[in-house]
Amino acid sequence: MLVIDAAMWPGGDPTESETVGQIVIGQVARSAGGDFADYLVVHVEANLCATSALMLQRRHVMAGWRDLLWAALDGEGATPVEVDDPRVAKVIANLRQDVAPSD
């Protein structure tokens, strides 16, 4: 799972950035040959609630994180997914588990 912090730069000044949420990209399916995969992209607010989701289908598994991020931001060829989809809930649960404080 790839988690990227999304920030907003008021006035174009990165020193004044505000975190507005995260983009989480998780692989949810793989082709029979293992060369291609489907990736679920979930936009998450700072409180870890999903605001939108989309599916990137049939992407090569050797694609780097930059390629996946650009595809997620561009949205071209992506299919919208409802935020109440069980796959979205699973990605959010994994994210919450990763950020939970460990004892």
Sketch the domain layout of the chain as residue ranges.
2-99
Band (90; pLDDT cuts 50, 70, 90): very high
Location of structure tokens 């460990």: 102
* Spatial CB neighbours of 2, under 8 Å, sequence gap ≥ 6: 24, 25, 26, 65, 68, 69
Per-residue confidence band for 20, with pLDDT thresholds at 50, 70 and 90: low
* 3-state secondary structure at position 96: helix
The pTM of the full predicted model, rounded to 2 decimals, is: 0.78
Task: Give the full edge-to-edge strand order of the sheet including 2-8.
Answer: 2-8, 18-30, 36-44, 50-60, 79-81
